[in-house]
Amino acid sequence: MNVNGKAYRTIWTDEADRLLVINQHLLPHRFETAELPAFESVCAAIRDMLVRGAGLIGATAGYGMWLAAREAPTASNDAFDAFFSAAAATLKETRPTASNLAWAVERQLAAVAHGGSPEEKRRIARRTAQVIADEDAEACRRIGTHGKTLLERVAARKHGDPVNILTHCNAGWLAFVDYGSALSPVYAAHDAGIPVHVWVDETRPRNQGAGLTAWELSRHGVPHTLIADNAGGHLMQHGMVDIVITGADRVTRQGDAANKIGTYLKALAAHDNGIPFYVALPSSTFDFSLNDGMREIPIEERGAQEVRIMTGKATDGRVLDVQICPDETPARNWAFDVTPHRLITGLISERGVCPATEAGIVALYPEAENRA
């Protein structure tokens, strides 16, 4: 996507083969890139959310395994493999909920196992990292094409009035390598001249909606309005939302979807008001080994400080951290919740749109069958 007239992905390598990312800590107030020079810096970037979002976490993990391959000893295949699999275990522990992370690491392990020497393994890891990133971008582009059809249908009923889409958190291009999942249909529709308007949930505690989604949509010129996290139900009751589209961090074989905390409440409100609720995801976000998302998806609990402290720009332009509760008040911080499939109208993936049911998923993904 374009920033200040230049096309960017969220992760890339330059001519010197340096690994670069957009520093998402600084957005929306400053746009800066950062180098991830070593395997450990990749782990830290994922853990501390310098990069975040399911697809980008997966792509970063793919490149992280390449850096691990670069740092691995080359004295023998055994020495290389021991280092490489220890790195895989470390990387997998950085964030637990998004399936893209483990998916990318496993893909690297399987690919590199075919290498006959440490040097060949390194070359394979380099190539595989690039393939993972390219595939993520292409999957998201296709999600945009499929999702645009849904928005076109809504637009046909609105006689020129904008289609009002509500989204939660950031599932735009910043959360992937490019395009995004939930926002990809929005960009595709906007670019095709379909009038759209996005209600952007602020998404406490880290405010990915206010800071990242609003920033992305502004850069692309998409009409949008920031709303308080709890406003969505009210808007739905008053006919101000035509469709909800969110991303996902992990989706089970029966279609339960883990996404940013608060998504479940939006799905309940959409269900109560008869508003279609779609979840957009690339296939790397499916976890076909799981069935019951509420019981089986691991939910990350992050530090209490993210709830107690907010970051923002003061009137004098300085970016400050401020505490919003009494000094002695404790906090808990669950980063995700699970929306049961019965509340989801459909899943939008790069293969098309399907019902959020096992039968619907298996029809698009035959490989999901018998993966319990």
CA pseudo-torsion sign 132, 136, 138, 142: positive
249 touches ligand MRU by CB under 6 A: yes
CB within 8 Å of 121: residues ≥ 6 apart:
69, 72, 77, 80, 84, 112, 115
CB within 8 Å of 288: residues ≥ 6 apart:
252, 253, 365, 367, 368, 371
User: CA-CA distance, 167 to 229, in Å (whole number)?
Assistant: 10
Choose, by CB under 6 A, the member of 171, 189, 214, 338 that binds ligand MRU.
171
Burial environment of residue 109 by CB neighbours within 10 A (0 to 12, 13 to 18, 19 or more):
middle
The answer to whether 281 touches 349, Cβ cutoff 8 Å, is: yes
Which residue is at the shortest CB distance from ligand MRU?
247
Residue with Cβ nearer ligand MRU (52 or 126): 52
Residue with Cβ nearer ligand MRU (69 or 198): 198
Residue with Cβ nearer ligand MRU (241 or 251): 251
User: Token pair for residue 176?
Assistant: 């992937």
Q: Smallest gap, in angstroms, from Cβ of residue 153 to ligand MRU?
A: 23
Choose, by CB under 6 A, the member of 104, 132, 175, 344 that binds ligand MRU.
175
The answer to whether 167 touches 209, Cβ cutoff 8 Å, is: yes
- Cα radius of gyration (the chain): 20
Choose, by CB under 6 A, the member of 52, 197, 266, 308 that binds ligand MRU.
52
99 touches ligand MRU by CB under 6 A: no
From 136, 178, 242, 249, active-site residue: 249
User: CA-CA distance, 314 to 311, in Å (whole number)?
Assistant: 9
Q: Smallest gap, in angstroms, from Cβ of residue 325 to ligand MRU?
A: 21
The Cβ of residue 350 has, within 10 Å, a number of other Cβ atoms equal to 23
The torsion region of residue 239 among left (phi > 0), alpha (psi -120 to 50) and beta comes to left
Binding mask 329-368 for ligand MRU (x = CB under 6 A): ------x---------------------------------
Segment lying near ligand MRU (by CB under 6 A), choices 53-61, 114-122, 306-314, 364-372: 53-61
Q: Smallest gap, in angstroms, from Cβ of residue 171 to ligand MRU?
A: 4
Segment lying near ligand MRU (by CB under 6 A), choices 5-13, 47-55, 109-117, 192-200: 47-55
205 touches ligand MRU by CB under 6 A: no
User: CA-CA distance, 3 to 9, in Å (whole number)?
Assistant: 10
214 touches ligand MRU by CB under 6 A: no
Four-point Cα dihedral 214, 219, 220, 225, nearest 10:
30
246 touches ligand MRU by CB under 6 A: yes
Q: Smallest gap, in angstroms, from Cβ of residue 55 to ligand MRU?
A: 6
Choose, by CB under 6 A, the member of 94, 99, 164, 208 that binds ligand MRU.
208
User: CA-CA distance, 19 to 133, in Å (whole number)?
Assistant: 12
The answer to whether 119 touches 162, Cβ cutoff 8 Å, is: no
Active site annotation includes 256: no
Residue with Cβ nearer ligand MRU (252 or 259): 259
Segment lying near ligand MRU (by CB under 6 A), choices 132-140, 245-253, 341-349, 353-361: 245-253
Q: Smallest gap, in angstroms, from Cβ of residue 368 to ligand MRU?
A: 20
Q: Smallest gap, in angstroms, from Cβ of residue 285 to ligand MRU?
A: 8
Residue tagged 């332009």 (tokens) = 317
Residue with Cβ nearer ligand MRU (164 or 208): 208
Residue with Cβ nearer ligand MRU (53 or 232): 53
Q: Smallest gap, in angstroms, from Cβ of residue 316 to ligand MRU?
A: 28
The Cβ of residue 32 has, within 10 Å, a number of other Cβ atoms equal to 10
Length of the chain: 372
User: Token pair for residue 270?
Assistant: 């959409």
User: CA-CA distance, 362 to 360, in Å (whole number)?
Assistant: 6
Q: Smallest gap, in angstroms, from Cβ of residue 77 to ligand MRU?
A: 35
The answer to whether 289 touches 371, Cβ cutoff 8 Å, is: yes
Residue ranges binding ligand MRU (CB under 6 A): 52-55, 169-171, 175, 181, 208, 246-249, 259-260, 335
- Catalytic residue ranges: 249
